[in-house]
Amino acid sequence: MRPFTYLRAQSPAEAATLAAQVSGSRFIAGGTNLLDLMKLEIETPAYLIDVNDTGLDRIEASQEGGLRIGALVRNTDLAANPRIRKHYGLLARALLAGASGQLRNMASTAGNLLQRTRCPYFYDPNQACNKRQPGSGCAAIGGVSRQLGIIGVSDACIATHPSDMAVAMRALDARIETIKPDGSTRSIAIADLHRLPGTTPHLETTLMANEMITAVTLPAPLGGTHLYQKVRDRSSYAFALVSVAAVLQKDGSGHIALGGVAPKPWRLESAESALPQGARALTEQLLAGATPTHENAFKVTLVERTLAAVIAQARAQA
């Protein structure tokens, strides 16, 4: 690990200002992904700005009838919150499907959104990786790609976003609140937070330099049946091959987001009109234009079967 300077911020504004005053800084909360990346020297920040004292650890009712989740709320606490469990059940389920108990105790809401891909070549400095080293190539294309993406990918990168929580938040139409070093704030739809790789896979979000996530807001409860189905190689502590986050209403409408298939939580609102026609029609629309590799082409069928299982479960529960 490279030497770094450790700073502690006492407020979100101070954290963003500190970040702008020094070169090469990163915010740290739980550190469950960043510290691993630093040990491997994939991330080499000169300054670590600890944001754990910034007071962003509350879950509060919003004026719009939803919830405002502080950026530092730990994944365990978010999953256990009574309002989350009652009104946003798929979010609690997605959180509990992710990582391990120890990691969920440390991992923060903002850090979960900003965690980096688990593509094995990204973590191996001996391999070509456009995300780690722009212009170096992509060892995953033509390599071991079973876990990697099938839609939204590019000739430069086929990595997936690893979060379960973010998939549920996409289905719930969450928004991301931020603060910039000049003190200004903004709200970003979660659909617009993560970028597709295109020719610049090292640019993963639309956050500006030193812009800090302060909260995630959820709209008023959507009602309906909430399900999160994650398919993986083993039953715990594994990333999704495919996941489905669903809010399904009795009239056949609903929100559907997919995980494990794309560089960001994958949702196409226009595809949701195909819900009443069943899983095959929905899959055809959600995955139109998919470009799987020979190793992960099975994910197309897996998406259809997982959607079918979720739709059947929702009907049984309705």
| Residues of this chain that bind ligand SF4 (CB under 6 A) | 117, 119, 121-122, 129-131, 138-140, 148, 157-159, 201
Both tokens assigned to 164? 């379960």
What are the tokens at 15? 């954290």
Min. distance of Cβ 10 from ligand SF4 in angstroms?
A: 36
Q: What is d(CA 250, CA 31) in angstroms, rounded to the nearest whole number? A: 41
Q: Smallest gap, in angstroms, from Cβ of residue 196 to ligand SF4?
A: 12
> Which residue, 107 or 140, has its beta carbon nearer to ligand SF4?
140
126/235 with CB nearer ligand SF4: 126
Residue spans of alpha helices (H) in 71-184: 75-80, 82-87, 89-97, 101-106, 109-114, 165-171
SS3 assignment, position 188: strand
Tokens (6 digits) for 131:
């995300």
Specify the residue, 157 or 227, whose C-beta has the smaller distance to ligand SF4.
157
Distance CA 79, CA 88 (A): 10
Structure tokens at 315: 């009907």
Nearer of residues 94 and 148 to ligand SF4, judged by Cβ:
148
Between 131 and 161, CB nearer to ligand SF4: 131
Are the C-beta atoms of residues 315 and 308 closer than 8 Å to each other?
no
Beta-bridge partner residues of 299: none
Min dist CB 22 to ligand SF4, Å, is 28
Cβ nearer to ligand SF4, comparing 144 with 188: 144
The nearest distance, CB 135 to ligand SF4, in angstroms, is 11
Backbone angles phi, psi at 27, to 5 degrees: -80, 145
Q: Side chain identity at 269, as an amino acid letter?
A: E
- Measured in residues, the chain has a length of 318
Q: Is 69 or 138 the residue whose CB approaches ligand SF4 more closely?
A: 138
Minimum gap (Å) between residue 117 Cβ and ligand SF4 = 5
CB of 162 to ligand SF4, least distance (A): 11
> In 3D, which of 231, 225, 279 has the Cα closest to residue 259?
231
Return d(Cα 263, Cα 250) in angstroms, integer: 31
Minimum distance from CB of 240 to ligand SF4 (Å)?
Answer: 16
DSSP state string for 230-280? EE-SSSSS---SEEEEEEE-TTS-EEEEEESSSSS-B--GGGGGGGGG-HH
Contact (CB, 8 A) for 255 and 279: no
Cβ distance to ligand SF4 smaller for residue 159 or 275: 159
Tokens representing 182 are: 């000049």
Q: Output the smallest distance, CB 127 to ligand SF4, in A.
A: 6
Give the CA distances from residue 180 to residues 49, 91, 214, in Å, rounded to whole numbers and listed in that order: 15, 27, 10
Q: Closer to ligand SF4 at the Cβ: 119 or 176?
A: 119
Closest approach of ligand SF4 to the CB of residue 134, in Å: 9
